[in-house]
Amino acid sequence: MVGQAVLVRLIGVRIPASQPQSRSSPNLTSPMNTDLLTDLNEHLRLEFRAAHEYLAMSIWLSAHDLPGFSAWMRQQSTDELGHANRVIEHLLDRDQAVKLPAIPEPPTDWPDAVALVAHVLSNEQEVTASIAALYEAAERAGDRGAQIMLQWFVTEQMEEESSARALLGRLKLAGSTGLGLLLVDQELATGNIPGAPAAPAAQ
Ligand code: FEO
């Protein structure tokens, strides 16, 4: 067998010594657990549905001469698009597939403002349950990145549910017509609901 020193002399080429193989090189773009990926994409449906329905509510409120309430609801719709985008950005940052959902046509009418806000609360409770399930799925998958992303939503959902409950309480006290409703409309024109917590920082 010809040694490497002899080969170098014969052909004038130094053969690089073989490098030790890294046994555990970190894979920063490791695939996401497929169930978690499916569930995150499915969650988008709830956020887009909320955006669509809150926009429809804003239109209904404007048509019922409640500009403060309408503007507040329009902001909720915009916020929901932001929530969907948070999930989309997380998936894109990790080179994961994004599948946008079909959004059902929203309702166009509600019996009164109390029924409208009860609808909001029901939506928010559904989103909270979905976030809790996603967080558990991320824990099961050992996906720390997804857990950190979802932590913001856990805090946000506490605020959103609390705001909807506070608004529902104000409306029930004030009544769904007349001066009481005008008072709530003026409160909402400030962008705040008395007794509701502040939204978490945007980060
Ligand atoms: Fe994004 Fe209000 O749930």
CA triple 127-86-110, angle to 5 deg: 40
- Quick one: pLDDT at residue 37? 98
Please report the pLDDT score of residue 10 as a whole number: 40
| Residue 96 zone, left/alpha/beta (φ > 0; ψ -120 to 50; rest) | beta
Whole-number pLDDT of residue 200: 63
pLDDT at 203: 62
Residue that has been written with the tokens 């209904």 in this structure = 60
Cβ-based neighbour number of residue 196 at 10 Å: 17
Angle at 166 between CA 163 and CA 170, to 5 degrees: 135
Local structure of 42: helix, strand or coil: helix
| Closest ligand 1 atom to 76 CA | 2
Assign a CATH topology to domain 31-189.
Ferritin (1.20.1260)
Per-residue pLDDT of the chain (203 residues; tens, 9 = 90+): 444 444 444 444 444 444 433 343 334 457 899 999 999 999 999 999 999 999 999 999 999 999 999 999 999 999 999 999 999 999 999 999 999 999 999 999 999 999 999 999 999 999 999 999 999 999 999 999 999 999 999 999 999 999 999 999 999 999 877 899 999 999 999 988 877 776 666 66
Contacts of 188 (CB under 8 A, 6+ apart): 68, 69, 71, 72, 167
Protein residues with CB under 6 Å of any ligand 1 atom: 47, 50, 80, 83, 124, 127, 160
> Residue ranges per domain, the chain?
31-189
Helix, strand, or coil (residue 4): helix
Atom 1 in ligand 1: which residue has the minimum CA distance?
Answer: 80
Query: Which atom of ligand 1 is nearest to 128's Cα?
Result: 3
What is residue 19's predicted lDDT score, i.e. its pLDDT?
40
Distance 50 CA to ligand 1 centre (A): 7
pTM over 0.85: no
Q: How far is the CA of 128 from the centre of ligand 1 (A)?
A: 8
